[in-house]
């Protein structure tokens, strides 16, 4: 019975290049559990600073340990030259996360090679990468687009986090160091939202096969994060997740969804039900929704919801204007209510719950802001605490 052995799934997280290794370091620092960390880089000096379980200095013959010079071809050759070492490091893995910062040399060129090797040994392979900030220049952005396209061909599922979206939920006083640290936090959330479903005891346990049923061969995926406290916290967090500015496209039409709900020991089963029903209403009517609830008393009264949507028709989510996507879930004329499941029927009724509104962001004109009493100036529910 797989359910009795769900803690035995071997999960490895591979950081490729400077951005990927930084993300791995942040995951280690914040205590991501139940996984093995591997750092791969052409920059030998940067590797020395990593606490990863396995560190591979690749491309020594090409780069002399000095980095790829933002050239993806150098990164690709470096990884190809050390394919046997990479395969040895990945051996035995059931699931491999390949994380990188797209746009540079080692991560952009090397990540597809690592992913190809991971799939060749039979591992479920998931890419979790960032696209560069606008201020990093057009060249890096162009290289990032090419890198994302190459990586998508080699993984089962690819989650792309556009760094510029992070600016929408950041204070204007945020430093560059803090901005990149926030990007690392989001990569962590993407990996943790999946691994915790398998490795962490919860109210609703899942096994590796459950996760694999959604992620295998799913193509592009979208990730949204929400966090809330107080009354109706779970449903508010779920609303924030499906309307997250991290989403470049709508989750409408997703056939596979991983829903991770984290909260303290007072997290109720009806809260989980309400949040799951809200997500169900936002995706394909026949979607396979795999959800788990993880207990973490360090969160206090906070509830976090991570939604990973995949399995779109044609392999790609439908692109929409960002404001249009938000308004489809947050209607300022709807009396600030959300649909919630009632009883055991499939009927959805208006329960009068207050909903968070992304329309209260500073950069939007006042005329477009939803009049929502749940979100006055003293309420910070619309930004997950761990991203502040």
CA end-to-end distance (rounded Å), the chain? 42
Mean pLDDT of 49-65: 85
Report the candidate in 356, 372, 377 with the shortest Cα–Cα distance to residue 303. 356
Residues 99 and 168 in one domain: yes
Residues 188 and 226 in one domain: no
pLDDT for the residue numbered 316: 63
Evaluate if residue 54 carries a pLDDT over 90.
yes
pLDDT for the residue numbered 121: 95
User: In this prediction, what percent of the chain has a pLDDT beyond 70?
Assistant: 76
The lowest-confidence range among 66-70, 86-90, 212-216 is 66-70
Half-sphere exposure of 184 (CA within 13 A, CB side): 21
Most confident of 100-109, 306-315, 378-387: 100-109
Residue 343 lies in a domain: yes
Return d(Cα 280, Cα 331) in angstroms, integer.
18
In this predicted model, what pLDDT tens digit does every residue of 31-48 receive, in sequence order?
888 899 999 999 888 888
Residue 237 lies in a domain: yes
In this predicted model, what pLDDT tens digit does every residue of 226-249 receive, in sequence order?
899 998 999 999 998 888 777 766
Binding site annotation covers 96?
A: no
Binding site annotation covers 19?
A: yes
pLDDT for the residue numbered 385: 52
Residues 238 and 188 in one domain: no
Evaluate if residue 276 carries a pLDDT over 50.
yes
User: In this prediction, what percent of the chain has a pLDDT beyond 90?
Assistant: 32
The lowest-confidence range among 62-71, 96-105, 278-287 is 62-71
Report the candidate in 66, 76, 136, 63 with the shortest Cα–Cα distance to residue 105. 76
Cα angle 260, 211, 54 (rounded to 5 degrees) comes to 95
Token couple for 270? 């009806």
Return d(Cα 52, Cα 40) in angstroms, integer.
10
Residues 242 and 361 in one domain: yes
Residue 268 lies in a domain: yes
Residues 121 and 246 in one domain: no
Binding site annotation covers 342?
A: no
Token couple for 137? 């220049």
Report the candidate in 104, 76, 98, 90 with the shortest Cα–Cα distance to residue 157. 98
Mean pLDDT of 181-210: 80
Give the relative orientation of helices 72-81 and 106-120 as an angle to the nearest 10 degrees.
40
CB count in 10 Å sphere of residue 371: 12
Domain that holds residue 356: 221-387
In this predicted model, what pLDDT tens digit does every residue of 163-195 receive, in sequence order?
888 887 778 888 888 888 888 888 888 888 888
Give the single-character DSSP code of 4: G
In this predicted model, what pLDDT tens digit does every residue of 67-78 receive, in sequence order?
777 788 988 999
Residue 241 lies in a domain: yes
Task: Tell me the CATH number at 87.
Answer: 3.40.50.1440
Residue 150 lies in a domain: yes
Binding site annotation covers 277?
A: no
Residues 332 and 185 in one domain: no
Residues 192 and 225 in one domain: no
Residue 258 lies in a domain: yes
Domain limit, last residue, from 199, 233, 255:
199
Return d(Cα 261, Cα 208) in angstroms, integer.
17
Q: Please, which pLDDT band fits residue 203 given cuts at 50, 70 and 90?
A: low
Return d(Cα 66, Cα 60) in angstroms, integer.
8
pLDDT for the residue numbered 207: 77
Residues 286 and 330 in one domain: yes
The lowest-confidence range among 107-111, 143-147, 312-316, 346-350 is 346-350
Binding site annotation covers 107?
A: yes
pLDDT for the residue numbered 142: 93
Binding site annotation covers 315?
A: no
Return d(Cα 345, Cα 339) in angstroms, integer.
13
Domain limit, last residue, from 147, 165, 199:
199
In this predicted model, what pLDDT tens digit does every residue of 249-269 receive, in sequence order?
678 888 889 888 999 988 888
pLDDT for the residue numbered 200: 72
Residues 378 and 239 in one domain: yes
Binding site annotation covers 326?
A: no
Residue 185 lies in a domain: yes
Residues 289 and 359 in one domain: yes
The DSSP result for 210-277, as a single string, is HHHHHHTT-EEEEEEEEEE-STTHHHHHHHHHHT-TT-SB--TT-SEEEEEEEE-TT--HHHHHHHHH
Return d(Cα 222, Cα 381) in angstroms, integer.
22
Evaluate if residue 381 carries a pLDDT over 70.
no
Question: CA dist 316 to 23, 112, 225, 288, Å?
Answer: 26, 19, 20, 17
Residue 346 lies in a domain: yes
Give the single-character DSSP code of 299: G
Binding site annotation covers 140?
A: yes
pLDDT for the residue numbered 322: 42
Q: Please, which pLDDT band fits residue 328 given cuts at 50, 70 and 90?
A: very low
Mean pLDDT of 149-167: 90
Q: Please, which pLDDT band fits residue 325 given cuts at 50, 70 and 90?
A: very low
Q: Please, which pLDDT band fits residue 149 given cuts at 50, 70 and 90?
A: very high
Half-sphere exposure of 126 (CA within 13 A, CB side): 29
Cα angle 280, 223, 380 (rounded to 5 degrees) comes to 90
Residues 79 and 194 in one domain: yes
Beta partners for residue 142, in sequence order? none
Residues 54 and 160 in one domain: yes
pLDDT for the residue numbered 340: 27
Binding site annotation covers 106?
A: yes
- Give how many domains the chain has, as a whole number: 2
Task: Tell me the CATH number at 279.
Answer: 3.30.1330.20
Most confident of 318-322, 362-366, 369-373: 318-322
Q: Do you know the residue count of the chain?
A: 388
Evaluate if residue 9 carries a pLDDT over 60.
yes
């Amino acid at each position: 019975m797989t359910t009795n052995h769900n803690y035995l799934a071997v999960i490895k997280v591979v950081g490729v290049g400077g951005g990927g290794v930084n993300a791995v370091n942040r995951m280690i620092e914040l205590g991501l559990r139940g996984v093995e960390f591997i750092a791969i880089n052409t920059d030998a000096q940067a590797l020395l600073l990593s606490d990863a379980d396995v560190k591979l200095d690749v491309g020594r013959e090409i780069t002399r340990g000095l980095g790829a010079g933002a050239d993806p071809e150098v990164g690709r050759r470096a990884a190809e030259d050390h394919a046997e070492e990479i395969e040895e490091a990945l051996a035995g893995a059931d699931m491999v996360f390949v994380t990188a910062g797209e746009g540079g040399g080692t991560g952009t060129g090397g990540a597809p090679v690592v992913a190809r090797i991971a799939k060749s040994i039979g591992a479920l392979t998931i890419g979790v990468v960032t696209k560069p900030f606008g201020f990093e220049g057009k060249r890096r952005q162009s290289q990032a687009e090419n890198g994302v396209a190459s990586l998508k061909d080699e993984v089962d599922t690819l989650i792309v986090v556009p760094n510029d979206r992070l600016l929408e939920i950041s204070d204007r006083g945020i430093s560059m160091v803090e901005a990149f640290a926030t990007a690392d936090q989001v990569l962590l959330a993407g990996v943790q939202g999946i691994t915790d479903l398998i490795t962490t005891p919860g109210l609703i346990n899942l096994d590796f096969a459950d996760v694999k049923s959604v992620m295998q061969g799913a193509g592009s995926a979208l990730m949204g994060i929400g966090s809330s406290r107080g009354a109706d916290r779970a449903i508010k967090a779920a609303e924030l997740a499906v309307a997250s500015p991290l989403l470049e496209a709508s989750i409408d039409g997703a056939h596979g969804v991983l829903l991770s709900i984290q909260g303290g020991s007072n997290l109720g089963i009806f809260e989980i039900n309400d949040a799951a029903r809200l997500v169900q209403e936002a995706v394909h009517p026949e979607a396979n929704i795999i959800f788990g609830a993880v207990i973490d008393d360090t969160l206090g009264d906070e509830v976090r919801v991570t939604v990973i949507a995949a399995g779109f028709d044609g392999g790609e989510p439908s692109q929409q204007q960002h404001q249009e996507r938000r308004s489809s879930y947050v209607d300022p004329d709807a009396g600030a209510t959300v649909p919630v499941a009632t009883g055991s029927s499939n009927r959805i009724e208006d329960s009068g719950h207050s909903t968070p509104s992304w329309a209260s962001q500073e950069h939007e004109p006042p005329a477009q802001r939803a009049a929502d009493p749940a979100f006055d100036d003293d309420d910070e529910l619309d930004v997950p605490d761990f991203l502040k």
